[in-house]
Amino acid sequence: MHVTGIVAEYNPFHNGHLYQLTYCKKQIGSDFVIAVMSGHFTQRGLPSIADKFTRTQMALHSGIDLVLELPVPFATASAERFSEAAVSLLHKTGCTHTLSFGSEVGNLELLQTIASTLSKETPLFSQTLKHALQQGESFPRARQKALIHSLTALGFSPCTLEKILESPNNILGIEYLRALTKWESSIIPTTLKREIADYHQTVITAPIASATAIRQALLASDHTSISSCMPPSSFFFLPKEPTALPQWDDLGSLLQYKLMLSQKEDLYSIWDVPKDLMHSIYNTFSQTIDLETILTAVTSKTYTRATVQRAFLRLLLDIKKIDMLSLETHDWIPYIRVLGCRKTAFPLLKKLTQKASVPIITNLSKVKHTLSPEAQKLLTYEIRATQLYYYLCKKPSFYFQDYTQPFIKV
Amino acid sequence: MHVTGIVAEYNPFHNGHLYQLTYCKKQIGSDFVIAVMSGHFTQRGLPSIADKFTRTQMALHSGIDLVLELPVPFATASAERFSEAAVSLLHKTGCTHTLSFGSEVGNLELLQTIASTLSKETPLFSQTLKHALQQGESFPRARQKALIHSLTALGFSPCTLEKILESPNNILGIEYLRALTKWESSIIPTTLKREIADYHQTVITAPIASATAIRQALLASDHTSISSCMPPSSFFFLPKEPTALPQWDDLGSLLQYKLMLSQKEDLYSIWDVPKDLMHSIYNTFSQTIDLETILTAVTSKTYTRATVQRAFLRLLLDIKKIDMLSLETHDWIPYIRVLGCRKTAFPLLKKLTQKASVPIITNLSKVKHTLSPEAQKLLTYEIRATQLYYYLCKKPSFYFQDYTQPFIKV
Q: In what helix (H) or strand (E) does residue A219 lie, and over which residues does it extend?
A: helix A211-219
Task: Say if residue A198's pLDDT is above 60.
Answer: no
Instruction: In whole angstroms, give the CA distance from residue A68 to residue A6.
Output: 10
Which comes out higher in pLDDT, residue A133 or A185? A185
pLDDT per position as a tens digit, A305-341: 999 999 999 999 999 999 999 999 989 999 999 999 9
Nearest CA-CA distance, residue A257 and chain B, Å: 7
Q: Judge: A261–B396 Cβ closer than 8 Å, yes or no.
A: no
A63: left (phi over 0), alpha (psi -120 to 50) or beta: left
Instruction: In whole angstroms, give the CA distance from residue B51 to residue A286.
Output: 17
Contact call for residues B169 and B192 (beta carbons, < 8 A): no
pLDDT at residue number A206: 67
Instruction: Show which of residues 45-74 on chain A sit within 8 Å of chain B, judged by CB atoms.
Output: none
Instruction: In whole angstroms, give the CA distance from residue A18 to residue A62.
Output: 7
Interstrand relation of B32-38 and B66-70 (parallel, antiparallel or unpaired): parallel
pLDDT at residue number A202: 67
pLDDT per position as a tens digit, B292-321: 999 999 999 889 999 999 999 999 999 999
Is the link from the previous residue into A12 a cis peptide, with omega within 30 of 0? yes
CATH of A3-104+172-243+330-409, one of 3.40.50.300, 3.40.50.10800, 3.10.310.40, 3.40.50.620: 3.40.50.620
Mean pLDDT lowest among A206-210, A232-236, A303-307, B285-289:
A206-210
Burial of A89 per CB tally in 10 Å (0-12, 13-18, 19+): buried
Contact call for residues A52 and A40 (beta carbons, < 8 A): yes
Task: Say if residue A218's pLDDT is above 90.
Answer: no
Contact call for residues B333 and B89 (beta carbons, < 8 A): yes
Q: In what helix (H) or strand (E) does residue A162 lie, and over which residues does it extend?
A: helix A158-165
Name the DSSP letter for residue A301.
S
Q: What does CATH list as the number for B3-104+172-246+330-409? A: 3.40.50.620
pLDDT per position as a tens digit, A263-283: 888 899 999 999 999 999 999
Q: Judge: B286–A399 Cβ closer than 8 Å, yes or no.
A: yes
Burial of A272 per CB tally in 10 Å (0-12, 13-18, 19+): middle
Instruction: Show which of residues 76-115 on chain B sit within 8 Å of chain A, judged by CB atoms.
Output: none
A387–B contact, CB cutoff 8 A? yes
pLDDT at residue number B149: 87
- Burial of A114-143, coded b for 16+ CB within 10 Å and e otherwise, reads bbebbeeeeeebeebbeebbeeebbbbbbb
Strand partners, B8: B37
Residues 6+ apart with CB under 8 A from A161: A114, A147, A148, A151, A152
Task: Say if residue A301's pLDDT is above 90.
Answer: no
Mutate one of A41, A257, A294 to test the B interface: name it (highest B CB count within 10 A).
A257
B380 interaction partners in chain A (CB closer than 8 Å): 263
Mean pLDDT lowest among A86-95, A343-352, B271-280:
B271-280
pLDDT per position as a tens digit, B128-166: 999 998 888 877 788 888 888 888 888 888 888 888 888
Closest CA to B273 of B386, B139, B166: B139
Q: Would you call A64 helix, strand, or coil by DSSP?
A: coil
Q: Give B199's Cβ-side CA count (13 Å radius).
A: 13
pLDDT at residue number B89: 98
Q: Where are the domains of chain A?
A: 3-104+172-243+330-409, 108-166, 248-322
Task: Say if residue A196's pLDDT is above 70.
Answer: no
Contact call for residues A315 and A298 (beta carbons, < 8 A): no
Mean pLDDT lowest among A139-148, A181-190, B221-230, B254-263:
A139-148
pLDDT at residue number A197: 54
Nearest residue, CB atoms, A387 vs list B260, B316, B394: B260
Closest CA to B283 of B294, B273, B272: B294
A388–B contact, CB cutoff 8 A? yes
Which comes out higher in pLDDT, residue A8 or B136? A8
Q: Is the ipTM of this complex over 0.85?
A: yes
Q: Please name the amino acid found at residue B263.
A: Q
Contact call for residues A308 and A295 (beta carbons, < 8 A): yes
Size of interface A-B (CB pairs under 8 A): 63
Which comes out higher in pLDDT, residue A155 or B3? B3
Residue ranges in chain B modelled with pLDDT below 70: 195-202, 206
A28–B contact, CB cutoff 8 A? no
Is the link from the previous residue into A239 a cis peptide, with omega within 30 of 0? no
**Secondary structure of A92-150 as H, E, C letters:** HHCCCCEEEEEECCCCHHHHHHHHHHHHHCCHHHHHHHHHHHHCCCCHHHHHHHHHHHH
Span A98-105, average pLDDT = 96
Q: Please name the amino acid found at residue B230.
A: M
